[in-house]
C-alpha cells in the first residue's frame, strides 16, 4: 500500500510524562510521514492552555476549575510524582542534562510538523475552558470527528 | 470496504472520568454503525456492579474486596480527584448543568445500542465478583474472546 | 488473509496490575500465533529490572532514580492501592489462591513464547538505567522501531 499511514492519539491524561510520551510518538510518526492527530480531551486539554491568565467570563465553578487545573504544558505534574517521591523539577533537570526536549518544545515541534492538535469541545464545555485560553492554531471537534479519523487509523492509542 | 467497522475497548480503569470517556467513544461508534465491544477487566468491572448489596457466598478476602470497591458506576471516583482537589460531586454538578449524561445513563444507552458489554471472567474470579452482583444482560468471556474481536478491530483502545 | 497478526503493546505504566494486564494480553496473543512486542518505556521499564542491586557507574540523580523506582516486577505497586486501601500483598494472596500467575512468571512465559521484550533506550537514558540492570535477552530500541511495528499492527495498545 502506498497510502499515507495514520496515527490518532487520544490524550486524556493531564500528566507531564504521559503527555511527553504522546508527543514523542506523534512527532516520530509525523517524521515517518504519518498523518497524525492528537485529540485532547478531559485533563489532556491542559497541555493546550496558554500560560498567561486570559480574562474570560466564567461561572464560579468554571473559575474554580480554571484555577485548579495546570495552566499549560509546563505546569503539569508527573503521574508517578507522589508514588516515588520525586517531582516534576527532578525529571526536568534530568531531561535538560540529556538534551531531551521539554513538553512545550515537543508541542511546538508538533505544530511545525503539521500534526493536527484537536481540542474536544464537549470536555471544554464541561471544564469551562474557552478558545481564548488555548493555544492558537488548534482545531475544535467532537467524538464524531475522532471516530472518523480513528476508523481509518493504523495506530490508535488512548493515553 | 463495505464491511462493518469494529471498535473494541478494554476498560481496565475504575475511574469515573475514564469510564465516561470509554462509554462516550463506544456510544459514538455505535451511532456510526460500528460493532462495539467494551471488555471490562480489573477495576473496570466496578462499572458493571449493581448498586444494591447482593448476598452471595464469599471468602473473607472476597468480602473485603467487595466492600472496598465502588458498587456501580455512580460510586466511582475521579482519576484526578486528589491531584487537583475537586471531587466527583463537583464534576457531576457541572455535567448536570451542561446536560451531559452521567455514567449510569451512558451505560444504559450502550445497552440500548446493543454494545457488547463483557465482563472478564478471570478478574471476576480474582476480585471475588459473581454474576449475581453485575448488571443483567452482560456477557462473560476471557482474553481469548477479546483477542478474537480485537484482531479484526478498526479502533482498539485500552482505557 | 493468512498473514501473521501483530500485537504491539506500549507498557508505560509501572503498576503491577497494569503490567499484569499487558502480559496476560501479550501471552494470549502469542498463544494465538500473533507476533507480539511489548515496548517498555518510562515506568514500564521497571518490570524488566533485575531484582539484585547491580553495581554500575551512575550520577547522583541517576542513583536516586535507581533507589526510588521498584527493582523488578515483584516490587511494583498496584494502581489502585491507595485509592481503595488494599496493598500488593493482598492481591498477590488472592492470585496465589486462584493459581493466577504472578507477574514475574508471566514475564518468563513471555520470554519462552518469544515475545519481543523491548526497552526504550531514550527513557533508559533519562532514568539512568543501564543494560546490566535489566533482564537478559531483551531488545533495545527507540520510537522509530516501535512505529515500524505498530503501523503494521492489528492490535496496538498503550498501557
Q: Flag whether C28 is in a domain.
A: yes
Q: Flag whether B148 is in a domain.
A: no
The residues of chain A scoring below 70 in pLDDT are: 1-2, 80-87
Number of neighbours of residue B129 by Cβ within 10 angstroms: 25
Q: How far apart are CA C126 and CA C57, in angstroms?
A: 15
Contact (CB, 8 A) for B41 and C21: yes
For the stretch B70-104, pLDDT in tens is 899 988 888 865 444 456 777 788 888 888 899 99
Total of domains in chain B: 1
Band (C43; pLDDT cuts 50, 70, 90): very high
pLDDT tens for each residue of chain B, 159 residues long: 458 999 999 999 999 999 999 999 999 999 999 999 999 999 999 999 999 888 899 888 788 788 888 899 988 888 865 444 456 777 788 888 888 899 999 999 999 999 999 999 999 999 899 999 999 999 999 999 999 999 999 999 999
Calculate mean pLDDT across residues C48-68.
87
pLDDT of residue A140: 98
The values of phi and psi at residue B76, to 5°, are -75, 150
Best of A19, A20, A80, A157 to substitute, by most chain C Cβ atoms within 10 angstroms, is: A80
Residue A147 belongs to domain spanning: 6-158
Q: Flag whether B108 is in a domain.
A: yes
Q: How far apart are CA A69 and CA C124, in angstroms?
A: 30
Number of neighbours of residue C99 by Cβ within 10 angstroms: 7
Nearest partner of C154 among B18, B124, B151, A43, judged by Cα: B151
Q: How many CA atoms lie within 13 A of A109 on its CB side?
A: 18
- Chain B nearest CA to C25, separation (Å): 6
Mode of pairing for the β-strands spanning B139-141 and C139-141:
unpaired
Q: How far apart are CA A110 and CA A107, in angstroms?
A: 5
- Chain B nearest CA to C18, separation (Å): 8
Considering only the beta carbons, identify the residue of B24, B86, B98 that sits closest to A68. B86
The answer for residues whose C-beta is within 8 angstroms of residue C33's C-beta and 6 or more apart is C4, C5
Q: Flag whether B131 is in a domain.
A: no
Q: Flag whether B109 is in a domain.
A: yes
Mode of pairing for the β-strands spanning B35-40 and B6-11:
parallel
Q: How far apart are CA A39 and CA A19, in angstroms?
A: 12
ipTM score for this prediction: 0.92
Q: How far apart are CA A72 and CA A49, in angstroms?
A: 4
Q: Flag whether B127 is in a domain.
A: no
- Cα-based angle C146, C25, B156 (whole degrees, multiple of 5): 65
Best of A1, A67, A123, A150 to substitute, by most chain B Cβ atoms within 10 angstroms, is: A150
Q: Flag whether A1 is in a domain.
A: no
pLDDT of residue A99: 85
Nearest partner of B43 among B60, B80, B7, B18, judged by Cα: B18
For the stretch C134-147, pLDDT in tens is 999 999 999 999 99
The answer for residues whose C-beta is within 8 angstroms of residue B107's C-beta and 6 or more apart is B23, B47, B48, B73, B117, B135
Q: What is the mean pLDDT of chain C?
A: 90
Q: In what order do the strands lie in the sheet with A35-40?
A: A139-141, A116-120, A35-40, A6-11, A155-158
What's C141's domain CATH number?
3.40.1260.10
Any idea which residue has 459473581 for its cell? Answer: B130
Q: Flag whether C1 is in a domain.
A: no
Considering only the beta carbons, identify the residue of C18, C25, C100 that sits closest to B126. C100
Alpha-carbon B52 to chain mean position: 17
For the stretch C72-109, pLDDT in tens is 998 888 886 544 445 677 778 888 888 889 999 999 99
Which residues of chain B have a CB within 8 Å of the CB of A151?
5, 7, 32, 34, 154-155
C-alpha cell at C136: 537478559
Q: How far apart are CA A75 and CA A13, in angstroms?
A: 14
The values of phi and psi at residue A54, to 5°, are -90, 130
Amino acid at each position: 500500500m502506498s497510502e499515507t499511514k495514520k496515527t490518532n492519539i487520544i490524550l486524556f491524561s493531564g500528566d507531564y510524562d504521559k503527555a511527553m510520551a504522546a508527543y514523542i510518538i506523534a512527532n516520530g510518526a509525523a517524521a515517518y510521514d504519518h498523518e497524525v492527530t492528537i485529540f485532547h480531551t478531559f485533563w489532556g486539554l491542559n497541555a493546550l492552555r496558554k500560560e498567561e491568565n486570559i480574562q474570560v467570563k466564567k461561572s464560579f465553578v468554571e473559575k474554580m476549575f480554571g484555577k485548579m487545573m495546570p495552566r499549560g504544558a509546563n505546569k503539569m505534574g508527573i503521574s508517578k510524582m507522589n508514588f516515588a517521591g520525586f517531582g516534576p523539577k527532578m525529571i526536568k533537570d534530568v531531561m535538560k542534562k540529556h538534551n531531551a526536549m521539554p513538553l512545550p518544545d515537543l508541542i511546538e515541534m508538533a505544530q511545525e510538523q503539521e500534526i493536527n492538535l484537536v481540542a474536544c469541545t464537549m470536555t471544554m464545555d464541561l471544564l469551562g475552558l474557552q478558545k481564548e485560553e488555548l493555544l492558537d492554531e488548534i482545531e475544535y471537534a467532537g467524538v464524531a470527528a475522532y471516530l472518523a479519523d480513528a476508523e481509518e487509523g493504523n495506530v490508535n492509542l488512548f493515553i
